[in-house]
Amino acid sequence: MRVVLLGPPGAGKGTQAQIIAGHLGAPAISTGDIFRANVSGKTELGQKAKTFMDAGDLVPDEITVAMVKDRLAEPDAKAGFLLDGFPRTIAQAEQLRASLAELGNGLDRVLELVVDEDELVRRLSSRRMLVDGEWVQRSDDEPETVRHRLQVYREQTAPLSGFYDGEGLLARIDAMGSVEEVTARALEALGRSPQAGPQAGE
Ligand code: ADP
């Protein structure tokens, strides 16, 4: 299955992506994680992306699209994938559609995680990640930057909801509630039972 996970910062995309990908037996591909790994590894790509990320802005489409194309060409993504954090602009969505079409493929489903904005701000400002044994705040999780990221989401990414609805691919998932509840709703929208593990042949 080829699935896109859509939703604002703080909606729980990263957490759900890992769990759902496990059920699908497909890799979870997070553009944010790939960028962060490149920033800590001080690669050329990381250096290009860092200024945009620290400001809470999107990394330019040409950099992001090339990176995702490379990742989707890896053998583990051939039979399916779950994209987390990509596409984030209509232009990215169109490029994704075109590169899948070249291979005779297309997306099967787009899941949009829906959370109200007060809850997003609350989750993001208390979020910490483990780096070298210490809990640290992500540099783009500071309140000013969080507000900016939410604005970028509203302006550039939220229109994807209508775009994918128009293609008949969109399922909106209520992402308030426990991790397990949200997973169950997402799996139901994918036609999977929460009890079943990865299914063979996909
Ligand atoms: P969140 O969903 O919490 O905002 P991510 O980890 O998905 O965080 O992304 C962190 C940052 O990485 C974004 O603010 C942006 O700068 C960059 N980024 C990730 N994915 C994309 C993308 N598809 N297009 C442009 N920039 C991206």
Domains and CATH numbers, the chain: 2-115+164-189 (3.40.50.300)
Predicted TM-score (pTM) of the model is 0.89
- Comparing 96 with 119, which gets the higher pLDDT? 96
User: Does residue 197 register a pLDDT over 70?
Assistant: no
Q: How confident is the model at residue 202 (pLDDT cuts 50, 70, 90)?
A: very low
Average pLDDT over residues 171-177: 95
Could you give the percent of the chain with pLDDT greater than 70? 97
Residue 176 CA to residue 182 CA, distance in Å, equals 7
- Ligand 1 contact via 7 beta carbon (within 6 Å): no
User: Does residue 41 register a pLDDT over 80?
Assistant: yes
Report CA(132)–ligand 1 centroid distance (Å): 22
User: Does residue 144 register a pLDDT over 90?
Assistant: no
Q: Counting atoms of ligand 1 from 1, which one is nearest the CA of 33?
A: 6
Buried b (16+ CB within 10 A) or exposed e, 28-55: bbbbbebbbebbeeeeebbeebbebbee
Task: Enumerate the β-bridge partners of residue 98.
Answer: none
